[in-house]
């Protein structure tokens, strides 16, 4: 019994269930619950930038072949685009088959101020600015803002610079390795508070939005959850089978990270943990350092599924018949816009708003219908994104022959005990 109570997985599950009960019966606790969740996520966010930096620098500087860095990055981006496109097609297909919005007569909320805010942000989306933003104006600013893509850019450049020093750079490399271990130790200390973060996040969600808000849009929620399950257990499972590793062993191995994402409705707390665990799972540090941070911006499988289904759902609600050509156009637009708001708060709504504005056949104001249930679907999006990025890292590592099967077998065997 004592061993069970000290198990982090059990603690997080218990905290999530307690959060649901508190959210249902003590709604006045919502502000405090939100603060608890935000504090936990903030502490984790504080550690993300340095962990990414040191992991990437150590990985790149430790490589003998610098061409491999470009090859890994290229493979990762190609994989991301192929899989997220597949996710978009699945989302559109399932939404057309189930028709979650058919027969719904819903009234738009009278307060559309939030939608107006998303419209403004969507109008400001610019691909040129997005790529320009990747290059930071100063070294410290990227870390201060916690911008993953900027930190990634600095780390790759720093890693190349350090690798060119040859033997004279080994002392610095050893120091960086020790500093990286300090940050990972800090993360392990913070993760003991994961049950508190999960409790706060779940209590806030349930108390603020209420279970009753799910009823009108239950069909959409059910469809989204079903589609993401199909994507994970059919598409990702097929990819795992092709590359000769087990999806189920992998899911069991990262079960704590999945539960933390479920409780906090954010994939951010899982990022440093996933980087560490994937190294222990047999993936080379250089591959983990490049693929995981990039995937958090460019490999959002869960988000793309949700966006495609939400667009078709709104078309059905407003009785807008879409031709195959129009649906292909929607998929094409989402392939672009789903990447453009990476790392932006409320990016799902920004992307959805910009897509509706681009196709000009579905009322943009319809986004307001989804505001009440979006928080409940964000868990599924974040979990799917985390699982997908881990699979992507293992695939790239195996394709680069940078995957240790012995470590994989040992890690998955220990996780099942």
Cβ pair 237, 362 in contact under 8 A: no
Under 8 Å CB-to-CB from 111, ≥6 apart: which residues?
none
**What's the whole-number average pLDDT of the chain?**
83
Under 8 Å CB-to-CB from 119, ≥6 apart: which residues?
353, 357, 364
CA angle 280, 281, 287 (to 5 degrees): 85
Of the two residues 62 and 188, the one the predictor is more confident about is: 188
| Number of other CB atoms surrounding residue 102 within 10 Å | 11
**DSSP H/E element including 284:** none
Q: What is the DSSP letter of 109?
A: P
Q: Which two tokens stand for residue 379?
A: 């868990």
Q: How confident is the model at residue 159 (pLDDT cuts 50, 70, 90)?
A: confident
Query: Using one digit for the tens of pLDDT, what is the confidence trace for 194-238?
Result: 899 999 988 888 888 777 767 777 888 889 999 999 999 999 999
Is the pLDDT at 417 greater than 80? The verdict is no
Report DSSP letters for 63-96, one per residue: -S-THHHHHHHHHHHHHHHHHHHHHHHHHHHHHH
Cβ pair 210, 362 in contact under 8 A: no
Query: Using one digit for the tens of pLDDT, what is the confidence trace for 63-91?
Result: 756 677 788 888 998 999 899 888 988 99
Q: Which two tokens stand for residue 192?
A: 């003991």
Query: Using one digit for the tens of pLDDT, what is the confidence trace for 316-374?
Result: 888 888 888 888 888 887 777 666 544 444 566 777 777 777 777 777 777 777 876 77
Under 8 Å CB-to-CB from 54, ≥6 apart: which residues?
176, 177, 179, 180, 183
Cβ pair 223, 309 in contact under 8 A: yes
What pLDDT does residue 130 have? 61
Under 8 Å CB-to-CB from 380, ≥6 apart: which residues?
224, 225, 228, 302, 306
Cβ pair 56, 156 in contact under 8 A: yes
> In the predicted model, what is the mean pLDDT of residues 128-152?
80
Count of helix runs (H) and strand runs (E) in the chain: 21, 0
For residue 300, how far is the Cα from the chain centroid? 6
Report how far residue 355's alpha carbon sits from residue 348's, in angstroms, rounded to the nearest whole number: 11
3-state secondary structure of 283: strand
CA distances from 245 to 242, 253, 281 (A): 8, 13, 11
CATH code of the domain containing 341:
1.10.3860.10
Report how far residue 331's alpha carbon sits from residue 118's, in angstroms, rounded to the nearest whole number: 20
% of the chain residues with pLDDT over 70: 85
Of the two residues 248 and 141, the one the predictor is more confident about is: 248
Is the pLDDT at 121 greater than 60? The verdict is no
> In the predicted model, what is the mean pLDDT of residues 32-55?
89
Q: Provide the residue range defining the domain that includes 67.
A: 2-415
Total domain count, the chain: 1
Report how far residue 303's alpha carbon sits from residue 265's, in angstroms, rounded to the nearest whole number: 13
Buried b (16+ CB within 10 A) or exposed e, 232-249: beebbbebbeeeebebeb
What pLDDT does residue 388 have? 95
Q: Which two tokens stand for residue 373?
A: 């249930």
What pLDDT does residue 112 have? 54
Burial of 126 (0-12, 13-18, 19+ CB in 10 A): exposed
Q: What are phi and psi of 64, to 5 degrees?
A: -90, -30
> In the predicted model, what is the mean pLDDT of residues 6-26?
87
What residues does 283 pair with on adjacent strands?
A: 403
CA distances from 210 to 196, 206, 283, 375 (A): 20, 5, 41, 11
> In the predicted model, what is the mean pLDDT of residues 266-271?
83
Q: What is the DSSP letter of 203?
A: H
Is the pLDDT at 280 greater than 70? The verdict is yes
pTM over 0.95: no
3-state secondary structure of 91: helix
Report how far residue 124's alpha carbon sits from residue 301's, in angstroms, rounded to the nearest whole number: 24
Could you tell me the maximum CA-CA distance found in the chain, to the nearest angstrom? Answer: 70
């Amino acid at each position: 019994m004592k061993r069970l109570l000290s198990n982090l997985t059990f603690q997080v599950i218990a905290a999530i269930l307690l959060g649901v009960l508190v959210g249902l019966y003590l709604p006045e606790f919502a502000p405090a619950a939100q603060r608890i969740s935000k504090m936990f996520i903030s502490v984790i966010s504080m550690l993300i930038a340095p962990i990414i930096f040191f992991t990437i620098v150590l990985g790149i500087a430790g490589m003998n072949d610098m061409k491999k860095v470009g090859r890994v990055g290229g493979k990762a981006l190609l994989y991301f685009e192929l899989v997220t496109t597949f996710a978009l097609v699945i989302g559109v297909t399932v939404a057309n088959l189930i028709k979650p919005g058919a027969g719904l007569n819903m009234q738009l909320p009278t307060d559309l101020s939030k939608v107006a805010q998303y419209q403004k942000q969507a109008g400001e989306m610019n691909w040129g600015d997005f790529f320009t933003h990747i290059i930071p104006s100063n070294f410290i600013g990227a870390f201060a803002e916690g911008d993953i893509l900027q930190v990634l850019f600095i780390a790759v450049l720093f890693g190349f610079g350090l690798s060119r020093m040859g033997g004279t750079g080994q002392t610095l490399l050893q120091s960086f390795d020790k500093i990286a271990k300090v940050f990972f130790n800090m993360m392990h200390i913070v993760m003991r508070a994961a049950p508190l973060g999960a409790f706060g996040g779940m209590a806030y969600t349930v108390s603020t939005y209420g279970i009753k808000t799910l009823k009108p849009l239950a069909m959409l929620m059910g469809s989204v959850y079903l589609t993401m399950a199909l994507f994970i257990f059919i598409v990702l499972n097929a990819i795992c089978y092709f590359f000769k590793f087990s999806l189920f062993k992998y899911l069991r191995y990262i079960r704590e990270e999945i539960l933390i994402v479920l409780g906090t409705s954010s994939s951010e707390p899982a990022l440093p943990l996933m980087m560490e665990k994937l190294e222990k799972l047999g993936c080379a540090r250089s591959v983990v350092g490049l693929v995981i941070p990039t995937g958090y911006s460019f490999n959002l499988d869960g988000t793309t599924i949700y966006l495609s289904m939400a667009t078709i759902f709104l078309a059905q609600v407003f009785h807008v018949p879409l031709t195959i050509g129009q649906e292909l156009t929607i998929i094409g637009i989402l392939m672009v816009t789903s990447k453009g708001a990476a790392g932006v708060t409320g990016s799902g709504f920004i992307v959805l708003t910009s897509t509706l504005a681009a196709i000009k056949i579905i009322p943009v104001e319809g986004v307001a219908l989804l505001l009440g249930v979006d928080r409940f679907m964000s868990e599924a999006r974040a979990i799917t994104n985390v699982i997908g990025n881990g699979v992507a890292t293992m695939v790239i590592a195996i394709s680069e022959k940078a995957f240790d099967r012995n470590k994989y077998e040992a890690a998955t065997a220990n996780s099942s005990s």
